[in-house]
Structure 1
Amino acid sequence: MMNDILRPHLVWIEGRCYRVNDNSVEVTSLQEHDTYEDDTYGDEYDEGGDEDVEVVMVDNSRYKSTVHVSKHYLGSIIGKKGAMKLRIQRDTKTDLKIPKQGQDGKIIIYGPSVSSVKAARRRINIIVMASRMKQKSTHFISIPMNSPDVIKRYEEFEAAVLRECPSRGIEKSIFIGAQRLHLTLGVMCLMDNEERSIASNLLKRAKNEVIMPILKDHLPLKIRLKGLSYMNDDPSEIDVLYGLVEEEGSTKGIIQEMSDAIVDFYYKAGYMDKEYGRENVKLHVTFLNSKYRRSETQNVDDETTKTRQPRVKFDGTEILQKFADYDFGVVEITSIHLSQRHSTGADGYYQPTCVITL
């Protein structure tokens, strides 16, 4: 508990850092934490403000700014009986024009000064960020690991495991499809076209601002997929078995540095949280996952329906003994994707929302 107090959950909104006092409570308990006015966390979070936010003068006594908010989050900004909206307006001395709940549109903020308008906008963004982190992810940043050589070796691995390791819980349905092999760098929730456009533009910006400066002396970047590991401490009770990655003929640590930089870029934009509070991305390529286990079907009133069953772990002891150092081959990284979860594109990989080439 003491560790949570000393290291509270932090989020970045428009270049500023804020503290979420308690992730388990409603967003009405959020309090703004501006690190310019409180040096508790030191200078590492002081990386600029919201200078890029557009605020225009309406007349001699009023300013305004518009902010896109998905209709899914408007209820949180309005609050019960309008309490949250009134609180923001009172605290920032602004007037908020909010679309009717369920309708798309932009929130218009009117205020007596540029600073008051920006303060209201930050309060809105904090609420959206907190609400976003409670939603299931819809998209993820991925690096395809499905070169022809890797696909061939992976399919050979799958066939050998099914043939030689008849252990508890091992079946074909828990293997990920060869065309969908990938590194996941981070996940996010994007609720509408505007948010998807923003996330796509962030990836394009990240290419110029963080990715290429890291990779410029290491292209072409090649990654070898070799070796197996798993997500828990008991090899006989596994949910996820994955492959390990390492640079091929390049400076060690480049993949990790680039991956961490991308997640940090999205994190500071308010669109991605750090998984389990990790400072470093856990680099892995999932091969077997118990959540993929095919559901049983049953007939109910002549209609076939899927029945939800508890997640069943598998025994990976024999796989690890026989294939611990299996070499799946080398992939040359040519692109990074903003991928849509639970989708399939024309090439068998995940449907892309945005792709940048390296």
Structure 2
Amino acid sequence: MVDFLRPKTVWVDGRCYRIISPLTDNTNVNYVEDDSCGFVVIGKDVRTVRQARLKIQMLVEQARKKQPFTHFLSIPYNNPAIQTKFLEFKKEVLEKCGDCRGVDEAIFQYPGKLHQTLCVMVLADDRERQQGLDALNKCPDNVLKKYLAGEKLRVEMRGIEYMNDNPGEVDVLYGRINALSWSHSLQTIADSLVDELVKAGVVNRQHERVKLHITLMNTAFRQDPDGVTDIKVGKDRESFNARQIIEVSVSIVIDCGPREFGDYYFGEMEVDEIHLSVRHTTANSGFYSASGKIPILPHPA
């Protein structure tokens, strides 16, 4: 039920309905909402009912485009070892680059919510949430079995990049993710997961390909510390100067000697699950609450 439809309660054949005022003066139809089957459109003929239905669909679609997203498909990267390395990265950045314009603690991701966002969506009611879950539950057979064939998905988080061409005016700085097995294309898996939700009609495609990244710093966090970064923020968003972060040499011992932040090693992990995460929530684990989850590998029988 969308907010712009203002109902009045009536009784028909012993049942309670809500009447929706005509959307225009010339529709000549009544709109009622039946809890058992959704909207009921009553008109004098098929043509007027079809016209009214089209108007409702258009209004709902317009409202949906303006509504902030409610859910997102995510891969958690809150492995304890990676959280520890992220906190070390944060500490070193604040110590060595804290004097750079716009660099402060408020723009760092919360370590318990490190994740990769595959896509975002609006699931406004129980029916839409169930559609999202149904689409997610098809992914193990349609995507994961096809591309992983029962093998584990191990990934490495190494290096940082930024999302524009000017390191002095950065809004998002992120960590790079790669699959460790040569036989697995993380890009193909991510794109195919999103394709499943697009085909189910629960996601409008936002990008041609999924951006493989883990957000580490984002100026949007100043306005929305929720931790999800695919959001629109106000025009007063203040960028930060990332030049020194990209260029400074720090003592990160991997194989040999010091490295730059640009090649910072955050660690390796095995991806266990994919979540249909709920925005503005926190589970007991510190990650987002989930409407549903699917395992990367099927559970043993």
TM-score scaled by length of structure 2: 0.74
How many positions carry a matched residue from both structures? Answer: 261
Mark the CA change 1:159 to 1:325 in structure 2 (over 3 Å): closer, same or farther.
same
Question: Is 2:243 aligned against 1:310?
Answer: no
In structure 2, how many angstroms separate the alpha carbons of the residues matched to 1:216 and 1:119? 47
Deviations 1:6-46 (A, max 9, x none): xxxxxxxxxxxxxxxxxxxxxxxxxxxxxxxxxxxxxxxxx
Mark the CA change 1:211 to 1:127 in structure 2 (over 3 Å): closer, same or farther.
farther
3-state SS in 2 of match to 1:324: helix
Match of 2:204 in 1: 273
Match of 1:98 in 2: 32
Unaligned runs of 5+ in 2: 7-18, 44-48, 225-233, 249-260, 297-301
Match of 2:186 in 1: 255
Match of 1:292 in 2: 221
Is contact 2:278–2:289 with CA below 8 Å preserved after alignment? yes
In structure 1, how many angstroms separate the alpha carbons of the residues matched to 2:25 and 2:128? 23
More helix by share: 1
CA RMSD of aligned residues (A): 3.5
In structure 1, how many angstroms separate the alpha carbons of the residues matched to 2:26 and 2:193? 33
Shift of 1:181: 0.4
Question: Is 2:138 aligned against 1:197?
Answer: no
The one-letter amino acid of 2:165's match is D
Question: Is 2:133 aligned against 1:207?
Answer: no
Match of 1:150 in 2: 82
Is contact 1:85–1:96 with CA below 8 Å preserved after alignment? no
- Greater relative contact order structure (CA < 8 Å, 6+ sep): 2
Match of 1:325 in 2: 263
In structure 1, how many angstroms separate the alpha carbons of the residues matched to 2:61 and 2:133? 18
Shift of 1:123: 8.0
Mark the CA change 1:265 to 1:121 in structure 2 (over 3 Å): closer, same or farther.
farther
Mark the CA change 1:264 to 1:109 in structure 2 (over 3 Å): closer, same or farther.
farther
Match of 1:71 in 2: 2
Superposed, 1:86-165 pairs within 5 Å as 86=27, 98-99=32-33, 106-108=38-40, 128-165=60-97
Question: Is 2:169 aligned against 1:169?
Answer: no
Query: What fraction of aligned residue pairs are identical, expressed as a percent?
Result: 33
TM-score scaled by length of structure 1: 0.63
Match of 1:65 in 2: none
In structure 2, how many angstroms separate the alpha carbons of the residues matched to 1:106 and 1:221? 42
In structure 1, how many angstroms separate the alpha carbons of the residues matched to 2:95 and 2:150? 40
